């Protein structure tokens, strides 16, 4: 009998919508205020990384920065988030990445559960703005987990909340840290993006428009057969 997955766990940034540009602009504004040079190239390292870890990495760019206390860091991270929230006010359904709503519909029609596994505390608000909340059976955001990606906790939390065993889960990610988290959770990883960063994904597509539900299922089942 062919094995069928029980849940798709979607990352938010870079898979459902692309708020990476808004994150970059918000971090850049904060960095400028601190006198730190922060560019797009360095920003690539922050993909899939949570807010506090991102802040630590940015502060390490400038050795002359003072030693900030935990409380001061929380305030800096909150300031960045305020800038980000101002920027994402403009998000609407036109910001859904190509092919994603079609994939969600096929996912729903097949009675396979749908969860969100995001490093963003703003994930529920963004899904609401995109008009996609009704598709999701469970949402994991940064407030529900202690360890960010590449730790598997984001994905295992979704599976446990829905009562689904890890090998029955498919995770969709665009970051190296995210794919690593899915693999560590013993789930099937679907990567979206550049093979140079995502060669460790079980199945890889160049962009979201190439994400086809039936093809993902086929690739997942082929892997299951191989592992028998």
Whether 82 is catalytic: no
**3-state DSSP call for residue 63?**
coil
Q: Choose the catalytic residue: 11, 141, 168, 174.
A: 11
Whether 13 is catalytic: yes
Kindly give the interhelix angle for 51-59 and 20-34, rounded to the nearest 10 degrees: 40
Dist CA 198 CA 135 (whole Å): 27
Phi and psi angles of residue 97, each rounded to the nearest 5 degrees, phi first: -65, 150
Cβ atoms 201, 187 nearer than 8 A: no
Instruction: Give me the active site residues, please.
Output: 11, 13
């Amino acid at each position: 009998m062919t094995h069928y997955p029980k849940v798709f766990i979607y990352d938010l940034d870079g898979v459902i919508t692309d708020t990476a540009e808004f994150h970059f602009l918000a971090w850049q504004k904060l960095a400028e205020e601190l006198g730190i040079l922060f560019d797009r190239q360095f920003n690539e390292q922050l993909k899939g990384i949570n807010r506090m870890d991102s802040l630590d990495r940015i502060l390490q760019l400038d050795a002359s920065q003072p030693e900030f206390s935990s409380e001061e860091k929380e305030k800096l991270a909150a300031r960045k988030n305020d800038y980000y929230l101002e920027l994402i006010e403009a998000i609407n359904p036109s910001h859904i990445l190509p092919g994603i709503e079609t994939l969600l519909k096929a996912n729903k029609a097949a009675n396979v559960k749908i969860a969100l596994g995001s490093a963003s505390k703003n994930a529920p608000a963004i899904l609401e703005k995109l008009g996609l909340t009704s598709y999701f059976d469970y949402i994991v955001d940064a407030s529900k987990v202690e360890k960010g990606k590449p730790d598997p906790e984001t994905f295992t939390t979704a599976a446990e909340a829905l009562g689904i065993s890890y090998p029955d889960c498919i995770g969709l990610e665009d970051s190296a840290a995210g794919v690593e988290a899915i693999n560590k959770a013993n789930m099937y990883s679907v990567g979206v993006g550049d093979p140079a960063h995502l060669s460790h994904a079980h199945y890889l597509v160049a962009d979201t428009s190439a994400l086809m539900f039936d093809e993902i299922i086929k690739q997942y089942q082929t892997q299951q057969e191989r592992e028998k």
